[in-house]
Amino acid sequence: MLRKIVCITFIFCTAMVYAQNEKLLKMMMPNENHAKLGSLVGFWDATCSVYGGNGKVVYEETGFCENKWMLGERFVLLEHMFTSFHTAAVVGYDNFLQSYTAAHIDSESPGIHHFIGDVSEEGRKKTFVLRGESVGFDGELVSTIYVIEIANRNNYKLKVHYEIDDQHLKVIEINFSRLDDSTVRKAQKQINKFVANSFARTAMANSKLQALNPLVGEWKIESLIFDNAGNVLRVDQGQSHNRWIMMRKFVMMVSVMGGYASVSIVGFDKTKKAYVAAHADNVGTSIYHCEGGKKGKELKMFGTAMDYATGEKTELTQTITFQNINAYECEMYRERDKVGLGVSTTQLKAERLKK
């Protein structure tokens, strides 16, 4: 009888673990909520109107936009290129938070702005309303509403409002029209021209950003994943392409190792007086945010991450150590690792590829 009870208990526990793993696995995969972002993908003509504090248009500018799926159709990367400024955003749906999330950067602001919200639908029209903070007219953080209105397959708008004294103050409105196949190549050339010209005429903004310059380039990378006892569970090898973006305000790091891929954006936020980073990968559906400081050759940032073993958020520490101009290491661990309770530590070693 005891053996039977033990057997039944074992089967029940195994079933519970399997069910939990199945649930977590499903939470890590893209679904119909991510698919709703698909209408944004493509090449677009863009007309940007910038508004002043009086609600009137200060100036208008035309440009181009390239939006593309990334990391297994978990996120859409929006890149807007204008003559005088650039903007970009990583937009996705976080299955754990059950909300749409975005990390936004631009060449005019120093930080990475984070937004979270929902979508409403009326026929073919989709309206994504996300809320967060950004830098206002006075250089201080202000409550901000980030709105994407998709009218149909060929037209959408991006609008940014500040919330000041319970009033919505429109700051930016960008109208997008989809380009047909015959004009896409022309748009690609123009985008490349915008990027080349802005990079050539833009000096490094400050010494804090200059400290990130050793990350830029093509790298051979090796990733090691350890268990709680310090044993190597898995080794992956691949490459990373790291480049300056947003007129040398941020470094974007795109890494591919076997079946794993990730995108990280690193910069220095003058408002917070801290280094900041946003990270996304093809393992989950979350955008992780970190911030911290640099001491000597070590850049250490702190934030939160999703623990896929429990489905809960936990403390995250990311450290980048600059060994020399041709090598750096990155270590990422969760708070639970330090007390030996769960998710393994990850180390990444990068060696610059020779030209």
pLDDT given for residue 5 in this prediction = 38
pTM of the model: 0.83
Residues 162 and 217 in one domain: no
Over residues 111-164, the pLDDT tens digits come to: 899 999 999 999 889 999 999 998 887 778 889 999 999 999 999 999 999 998
Backbone angles phi, psi at 222, to 5 degrees: -135, 125
Residues 175 and 247 in one domain: no
Q: Look at 60-69, 103-112, 176-185, 256-265 and tell me which has the smallest mean pLDDT.
A: 176-185
Give every CB contact of residue 56 below 8 A, 6+ residues apart in sequence: none
Residues 131 and 244 in one domain: no
Give yes or no for residue 230 having a pLDDT over 80. no
Question: CA nearest 267: which of 321, 205, 316, 326?
Answer: 205
Is the distance from CB of 30 to CB of 74 less than 8 angstroms?
A: yes
Residues 84 and 218 in one domain: no
In a domain? residue 165: yes
In a domain? residue 322: yes
Residues 194 and 228 in one domain: no
In a domain? residue 80: yes
Residues 244 and 101 in one domain: no
The CATH code of the domain that includes 212 is 2.40.128.20
> What is the domain range of residue 109?
33-201
Give yes or no for residue 71 having a pLDDT over 50. yes
Over residues 331-350, the pLDDT tens digits come to: 887 665 444 444 456 888 99
Give every CB contact of residue 136 below 8 A, 6+ residues apart in sequence: 142, 162, 164
Residues 58 and 153 in one domain: yes
Q: Which of 201, 235, 268 is the last residue of a domain?
A: 201
Q: Which of 201, 225, 256 is the last residue of a domain?
A: 201
Is the distance from CB of 269 to CB of 110 less than 8 angstroms?
A: yes
Structural domains of the chain, count:
2
Residues 270 and 187 in one domain: no
Residues 294 and 338 in one domain: yes
